[in-house]
Chain A
């Protein structure tokens, strides 16, 4: 009889997978757990408290850094989304082989290199005083490529006939973009925006080089705090940052995949 003989997963494979996930997620879980620990030390579990979150929200410096981070992330990701979308459209349309390479290379560039080169560029070439503006500019440069890639991949997956059909049925190039192209790439554009927002929010290295003195962001603030000790307050702010990132990433991936069903 050809019954559904289900092949069971070997035990060792389950164990290996479990170990891999543990390696990935245990450190994060520890941080989250200790942010609720009623003790100054990250040593043993004493009891549950929300005290560290209260401390966090009373910390003026931390709140200032958070406001900076959110402001920078919003400004940088809006600009990166606009420019990245245009770059994605251009990459899709052009026959120039080097254009995609040119747009995507910064994505693969080591961050430390980008940090140093932007620092030199801002100071030596633009004669810019380092501060919020320089950080925003720097964040735009590294997130733009990500948006461009997401938008381009989405365009590549679409039937070229759709754009010709729009023109054929009477749409000017602008109407064709507004009524067909843009609605179709919108999920990718929003996903790209969320991704740039996350990248900007979490960035340390490039921000470190381009912020100058006086401007602090959440990652910079956390770094300066752990130079003294990893306090539960750091655990609390890390937990919140993790939560926000998680929400943004899940949202971005849901958006771009869910819509693909409509195209098939």
Chain B
């Protein structure tokens, strides 16, 4: 069931087009994410849905009804702000009760629902405290409780975890997913943090310069990026320039710069033809590195550098042809920080169905 529909929405600021004729729809109960670098237009879309700014062109429909002309306060849509925007003169309980008070919920029921909402975010015992007495993570939860207490049709979250430190962030991500499942309210989440988007969302719209580059499930975005931008923005990726020599029987023969002729699986969307130019997107974890790696495509080179990340180490390998690739290897042997030293001769290899050809 479509809950929200964005139709050819455009938004301009002075001489700058922040959102360029964007369309997408969000289903009821979905955890939908707008992902992109800062300035890509994701927050502008959120503000138009909330009703803070009107679109310059296009329509926003909620349950099939056009929201044009309906002010923010009359939309059944609430927002969790990046700054939390908790009212400093009200207690935690009063903050959460704020939307109930405005919609005329009787005092007794309001108390019950505020308590219930605060329990959901594990803060019931802090109801009488003021926002300035809370930690960042606690403020975040109060903002969530306040956004959810009046059961909006849609909850908008503007980089809500942006101000938290890494550990707390991961904990809040899990809580956010659990909370969304429990309350069953549709979430539209805005972030520039791609691991966060991959972890939380049912679907992600990757945005760049006011347009949606790709809208897909997280695993599809990661595995089958549609273009160079998505391939490089989502996760780490080796982008190898390549020309298509031949496409037949479910195989691509490519002439890759610095590699010569290699075999690759075709894009799931058909259409690659001989003579096309594009890139082969290879994830570092798809490249084996060792003395005798597996895979049909194999090249020798030496380790130029490596990045130790605890669980894994990423090796920057300079191939004998001069091309640079990144390959990743888990540090699964006990006490092992890395398998190779800078300067070591290594062989890298990958299976012909690893990677993914992206046409320009």
Residues of chain A at the chain B interface (Cβ within 8 Å): 159, 161-162, 164-172, 175-176, 179-180, 183-184, 261-264
Contacts and interface: CB of A to CB of B under 8 A. Distances in A.
Contacts of B82: 161
Interface of B: 50-52, 71-74, 77-79, 81-85, 87-89, 98-99, 102-103, 130-132, 146, 150
A170 to B, nearest CB: 4
B132 A261 contact: yes
A162 B150 contact: no
Contact of B85 (A164, A176, A183): A164
Contacts, number: 67
A169 B98 contact: yes
A159 B83 contact: yes
B89 A262 contact: yes
A168 B87 contact: no
B72 A168 contact: yes
A171 B99 CA distance: 8
Contacts of A169: 73, 78, 98-99, 102, 146, 150
A262 B85 contact: no
Given A170-B150, A172-B73, A165 B102 contact: no
A171 B81 contact: no
Contact of A184 (B78, B89, B150): B89
A171 B78 CA distance: 12
Given A167-B73, A170-B150, A261-B132, A162 B85 contact: yes
Given A180-B87, A184-B88, A168 B79 contact: yes
A165 B130 contact: no
A92 to B, nearest CB: 17
Nearest to B149: A169
A179 B89 CA distance: 10
Nearest to B79: A168
Given A159-B85, A164-B72, A165-B81, 17 more contacts: A161-B85, A162-B88, A164-B52, A164-B79, A165-B85, A167-B73, A168-B50, A168-B51, A168-B72, A169-B73, A169-B78, A169-B99, A169-B146, A184-B87, A262-B88, A263-B132, A264-B132
A162 B87 contact: yes
Contact of B130 (A167, A168, A176, A262): A262
Given A161-B85, A165-B85, A171 B102 contact: yes
A11 B163 CA distance: 47
A168 B83 contact: no
A262 B73 contact: no
B103 A262 contact: no
B71 A167 contact: yes
A180 B99 CA distance: 12
Nearest to B146: A169
B85 to A, nearest CB: 4
Contact of B83 (A161, A176, A264): A161
A167 B72 contact: yes
B91 to A, nearest CB: 11
A262 B134 CA distance: 11
Contacts of B78: 168-169
Given A183-B89, A262-B132, A170 B99 contact: yes
A171 B52 contact: no
A122 B152 CA distance: 58
A164 B85 CA distance: 9
Contacts of A176: 73
B12 to A, nearest CB: 17
A70 B99 CA distance: 44
Contact of B88 (A164, A168, A263): A263
B86 to A, nearest CB: 8
Nearest to B104: A170
Nearest to A161: B85
A6 to B, nearest CB: 32
A11 B131 CA distance: 45
B167 to A, nearest CB: 24
Nearest to B132: A262
